[in-house]
Structure 1
């Protein structure tokens, strides 16, 4: 037997020990997420598409900005397929996720993102995306699954991005330098500049921003301050400031730059806000600075004849409004200050028109043309234009002949308004008299010849033969004034009328003596010119950029931006100092102890996965608090697009419901409640059923279950369009801090339960007053006397329409039955059968909270809900089954409120109640009648219950009295 066992190998103990030494322990390292290296534009694009975190986004933006100045093959601002993909990704993925975070704390990264979008392709991408979002926003066929706030937020974000990109006044200059600096052919540069002009100057950006302003204003009435990009006047003024900066930057020998600027000006003149544009672009020239004059004339020479005329007329209007005083009709306007201003205007107009014949003709057309350009301008404006034209005698004679022809035309006399002929702004007659004076001093023989011609004779004759007294008076004035200039004293034409001898006639005849002299353009400088301090100009530029920010950052009513003390720096010293951007402020630098400065501060989550991680991280206080405070806003914003919220909705809801207050955070319950409401609003049908299951199942406390009911009630009202009324209830004022101390729980429990019950109690109390007040008013009206003795007041139709509220779209009606109401009522019976009468859900606190929630959901669904009959039947049976629990005051009050809501919401269809619910109606009336008799008054609680019972009885008796015959059979059986 021993031979059967053969030893294969023999080893000693020492050998075994040495073999164990062959097992060498290996050090283990915690696996860290690899850092994505961004060394090329392809890496940056891949990083941007992969939902980057904050650090990765910062590195990608820095890499993209380095391509602009380092002469690389790729340039983010150079048109191409790769740059287009990157810009598309930035607009569609990065901006919706990160813009609010960057606006709040990422100043430098925000500037990097804006630089990447400050190009022709960037502006085009923003405009296209904004147009698409507006189309989706206005699509009425799409069901409203999210609130108006979450639907409009992407549009508001893009408007804010557009404002920030366009905020700087060197925008046009930077775009031209980027186009000119790219390695493109001349034709490609021209196409890029034309595309830029089509977007910015031709009104595409303005039109889409205006449409966004109107759409947002219609959907959200709380938006009072619209985007300046959509305001034509502000947008044109911004374009003018940008053009002024570009004109200063373009050198005199830069032919391509001047040509591009003139093309841009030609497009901008078609925008429709010419005066605002010209006043901002040529403000220095209009205020007496002669340095931009040559640039202005060069730009005008490249414009078409029609555009030159538009530009010239705008200059005249601005000069008239800005420098020429508005004098009365008969006041002496020959004071020294006025003549100096008129002389400055004459000098500037002469300098602009120069030796261009078309501009001379335009001045004649402005004075005596049928287009009525001179109507509405002050008298001194006509004096200045005529003085500017007086240096060209042939144009004066031409204007005089044309004016006389128009003055004596019969159709013109009969049909043209008196305002154009004379009026309080003197136009035709006054211009003729002043032109006659200049013509007489320049060439009296011509005026004598003209006074003997048929043009003059027909003009005066037709005027004297007119039926209008004012027309005849003007004819007498012109005839007398011309006769005084060309005829001897004994042969002058005279009219012995009172009108010709009063101050009116004397003033008109004195117009032939007006002779304004040529002044200097420098005379237009204001008396108190602002100091030309570079620091002051820089401060002004910074404040203007601040004022262009989004309306979301202007929450306070105060308009004070900043108060700065600017040191006096000489111009020579300021020129040597380079300008740097202001660094981001770091409040942690102010700490006295540098060892407690926290540099690695958490950033707000921009993805749902980051939000979930932050809510679960109860060890990092700052990260957890930041995630909880931004949860509601992030969920609502993400619910408008993408599948992040829908993929993680149940996990989010589970975390928020079971979230405990490890640290004493301020407004912890409010932030948690707002987050749960946002989760519910994102997918009402699915999450309504989930919250209903959670209320009955799961290991949750009473406070957490009460918060679930609060979420269902407030979420249902928000879907019904009543969210603005309940917004304050989820804030700090929801708790009743002003209640008597003996009626409050201990502080430790009060913080948990007070918020859960307060919103529902406040809404139910408000609805009680709303439902009972009409009944009380009707009862008071019956006891106030016969109707024949009452005085009724009638409101106008406009007043009635003004008070009438606009219909609110009710998205709750589509999902209320399957998503909210039936899951709560159906699971109540199942839970009661499974756990008996002594379960947690039958406690007075939760039971009263459940009844109020169901009542609020039923009321918010509206009277037109298709499932209202079925909900009424099931809810009535549930309420009648809970009558034995009415011994507790809280449950009794909730029961009476539920009955009152049930009858009020069915008020428009009382016949159906009498036909289908006769037995329930009579049982309710009998039970409430007994409650009204048992409950005594005297206390606040008793009076409240009696008031509710009285309201229910009134509603029941209305139906019973109205349909008494129909109810007679059921009444016999009931008795």
Structure 2
């Protein structure tokens, strides 16, 4: 029957009838009933011990055939395969036969008859481990959910079926259940107290699904933590799991060496577990929860990643508010967005869908291909739009009322060019601006001086070089005591302009003060940002000034002398006429080549770059970049890379690139992902800033070592962003080297 023939067609027809005429159910029920009958009839103990071994051998072969049947038929029949043997249709038919068998098992148990579910457990485990849990549970799960709602016998049947699979199959089965069950109460009815009896199930639910894997859906942690909290027998396991979650969440090593998605998943599990604690459990475990929490909050706040810091703040607020509602609570300021709302929503346990869930289960098979998800998305968008309209309309109404609150009947127009008039006259000279910035009592004067400071600097007054360092020093220490609008932007732009027009003096001051004591982290970051912004602006080509004199509106009549004089530039007139009457089939460049312009930053790059490399490993009371101030270290590396890119293709760029690669090589194994990301950025800036022939000659050793390091980051780094940057940097390096090699071959 290897080739198409009448016998093969006849066998295929018989197999189709076997599947469509419910013969699988009879076969399954015989396996469930035979073993039980054998136990009741046989009295010889040796035969009782042999019976399971015989059946297990036969069952293993039979289950393997059933699980691989579509593949076998596809390989045998090729293009002549029957639709009844297609995977989706076949496994759906197989699952329906399993369900009919389960109904018979349920009936036998209610009639006080013995039967075994060992064969069905073996078959279900085999299907799950081979990746067929989806089509099988699309049939079984809705029916089990409906039947276990109020029937204890069905709950017992479901628990035996799902928790009795082989240990190697538990993970694939549980992973599907926790993602597909719509409510933790349903999961509790399906699994019962199986987590207390089955150690493999306990390990998968309380360890692997929480600490090793992570899922995007909030439903997963809600199902797991809700299942553990559903009955008094499982609640001690909930407390143990919650304490372990907080312990791992608080570990500084775990924060640094796990991805953000995994850490956010741990935070979600903690919040979902807190939602199920009762008052007695809160009181008994308050000290342990608070102690573990306080150990981790400081590690989160010290992280240079904004999202990690926000996770620490949200979890800290939630734990203190939940465990000790009457005590002192932690309160932080952080940006609230959609992710924040999803996290905080986990503090409220999901409610029972009730009858709506049952209706959806009953109609799921019919509407499988006509899902209503797009309509729900549109509805959500419409409702969100209505909500936005409701939120914005009162504001607009209030604004219009305030504008119309006048004795004049005419509605005033909003003039964007209107400037707020200040009671204080704006300074005209730079020294007057300095005096106004120093004054700490007059808010209007300080605001007026700060708003025009950049303009005064860019006017390039004669005495700017005399006061540039003093001006930057005042701006660096200036604080927003009067809540001036756009204070940070105005302050930084003024320092940036001063650095651009007095680069040598200001850069020496900033690079020296960067490692000086008694500066805050924010001030040091401001220094780096000003240096980078000034380097970028100085490296831009100087635009040639055009003649901006206005043309006369009316052409004056020529004087008599001009009328009699021969027209000048007559050659241009003749040339234009020749060009007008000449037909050309090819033209050269329509525009002249751009005029090369020297990089103004060329002579200044070393003053911006090398002083920042001097004392990075020094430790002070207010600065420890190799310790807890890794945020400053990361920003320093970013700044060095940006300054190098501003000095691209200059003579000093080679030495800068070599020094930067040595700096990167020292820090390449830093434990903080943010620092490693900055190092990868610096390497990419070296590749972009230095000519390719320099990379293959002067920096050949450094580039080779860097390439090996990039490969290690790609394969072994735990941070997803580091891996992404390593891929991009490797591709950039390979393209640059390939172009250089191909260019040298052509020459």
Shorter chain as normaliser: what TM range?
A: 0.3 to 0.5
Please identify the structure whose Cα radius of gyration is greater.
1
